[in-house]
Amino acid sequence: MAKKKIIKRSWAEPFKIKVVEPIKMTTRTEREKAAKEAGYNTFLIKSDDVYIDLLTDSGTNAMSDRQWAGMMMGDEAYAGSKNFYHLWDNVKKYYGMPHFVPTHQGRAAEHMISKIMIKQGDYVPGNMYFTTTRLHQELAGATFVDVIVDEAHDPKNENPFKGNIDLNKLEDLIKKVGAKKIPYVSMAGPVNMAGGQPFSMKNLKDVSVLCNKHKIKLWFDATRACENAYFIKEKEKGYANKTIAELLKEMCSYYDGLWVSAKKDLMVNIGGFLATRNKRVYEEARNMVVVYEGLHTYGGLAGRDMEAMAIGIEEMVEYDNIRARIGQVEYCGHELEKYGVPFVKPIGGHAIFLDAKRILKHLPQNQFPAQTLAAEIYVDSGVRGMERGVVSAGRDPETGDHRYPNLELVRLTFPRRVYTQAHIDVAVESIASVYENRKNVKGLKMVYEPKYLRFFQCKFEKL
């Protein structure tokens, strides 16, 4: 009897395309000129000169027809907009936090939380840093302490939960500086700078027990919380039958409060918020937002933006949506593997992180291998990624020296619902070509450096 053929069954996006935006094709000569003018910093390249934009998944998402319809329902009253109340209801329903303050984006919420919670001389432990998060903590007077598990700093380590906090590191810090000097533990999931790596529910529970024991608050950077929930469902024992919404709610239940850049999970182009179960923090934030953002019922947003966020919350917990989102990142990773291109394992939630240290082995870290690689890929094909290495890490505020992170990466980040599999193929083939020619690539020297978050605006010249 003939053997039955095993037929592969693929997944596909749970949506179809209704509106398209043409993109410009450029020549290599044009891109060489654009890269030079931008000081080899992909943040300074005009979007018009980019073919496939994998710079970030932040605010670059395609909204659904429901979200666009919601935009037409904007109630642009200065005070008490009905969209604010819709959004607040959904924050309560899905994140389980009773108190809520909208902000124009995530870092505005980080600014307020840092100002409210931190006193000069405090310490804020976190599972690896994020650029804006750490800067606001430092500006408020704290020293940031990385308490992520060691595996997170090793791009080859395949531990499925490299976003976990190392409880020993956290306990050591508490012993060393005392719980009174730690206003809160800052926990993100998945961890952006580690390669989009999630924490496990078990680790979160353990961290929460330790924090409670020492009366230290636990705050959540819930910017991509649904991606973390997806990984828990797929990889952690005992959670396979839970919905993304249930997992999100359970995760949030261990935190005192959270902040969100709505430009990610919520699939909008602008927005953020802070939510908490702590009445005192809420009262302070509600008052502070008036100074920096706008009235507490709009926080720097238009009514229509809040409506799109409210609808985005309902869409972000749909399993098929998040599976297709992470499925696209996985597809890119598996294709790159075929060419032997080294990148951070396991494949993370929002991006592929190319391992520039292993790709451009001949460049020392002070010649900015990741910055160089991002520029080379752009020149090759118009695919734009971003540096996540020594440039992003910035300078030590005490010594003024470069901080040299273990991870020297180029991030290829996937906007939600924007690109097709064919776009991914084009990007992969370009990266594979650059990888083939890697030995001829020369490094960069920094010629301009701003004081804060230098990676956004600094400039380089070719060596």
Please give the residue ranges that form the binding site for ligand F0G (CB under 6 A): 56, 58, 105-107, 130, 132-133, 188, 192, 221, 223, 261, 263, 272
What region does 309 belong to: left with phi over 0, alpha with psi -120 to 50, or beta? alpha
Q: How far is CA 461 from the centre of its chain?
A: 28
Just list the catalytic residues. 78, 130-131, 221, 264, 388, 455
**3-state per-residue secondary structure call for 145-183:** EECECHHHHCCCCCCCCCCCECHHHHHHHHHHHCHHHCC
Minimum distance, C-beta of residue 363 to ligand F0G, in the bound complex (Å): 24
**Cβ distance to ligand F0G smaller for residue 293 or 438:** 293
Residue 411 forms beta bridges with which residues?
353, 386
Rounded Cα gap, residues 144 and 391, in angstroms = 18
**Cβ distance to ligand F0G smaller for residue 15 or 292:** 292
Minimum distance, C-beta of residue 320 to ligand F0G, in the bound complex (Å): 24
Rounded Cα gap, residues 227 and 144, in angstroms = 25
**Cβ distance to ligand F0G smaller for residue 267 or 363:** 267
Residue 460 forms beta bridges with which residues?
446
Rounded Cα gap, residues 389 and 395, in angstroms = 12
**Cβ distance to ligand F0G smaller for residue 300 or 382:** 300
Minimum distance, C-beta of residue 89 to ligand F0G, in the bound complex (Å): 22
**Cβ distance to ligand F0G smaller for residue 217 or 263:** 263
Residues 316, 322: contact at Cβ < 8 Å? yes
CB count within 10 Å of CB 110 equals 28
Q: How far is CA 210 from the centre of its chain?
A: 26
In the bound complex, which residue of the shown chain has the CB atom lying closest to ligand F0G?
A: 106
DSSP letters of 29-92?
HHHHHHHHHTTT-GGGS-GGG-SEE-S-SSS-PPPPHHHHHHHTT----SSS-HHHHHHHHHHH
Minimum distance, C-beta of residue 151 to ligand F0G, in the bound complex (Å): 19
Minimum distance, C-beta of residue 11 to ligand F0G, in the bound complex (Å): 25
3-class secondary structure, 189: coil
Structure tokens at 303: 């009514």
**Cβ distance to ligand F0G smaller for residue 106 or 443:** 106
Minimum distance, C-beta of residue 110 to ligand F0G, in the bound complex (Å): 6
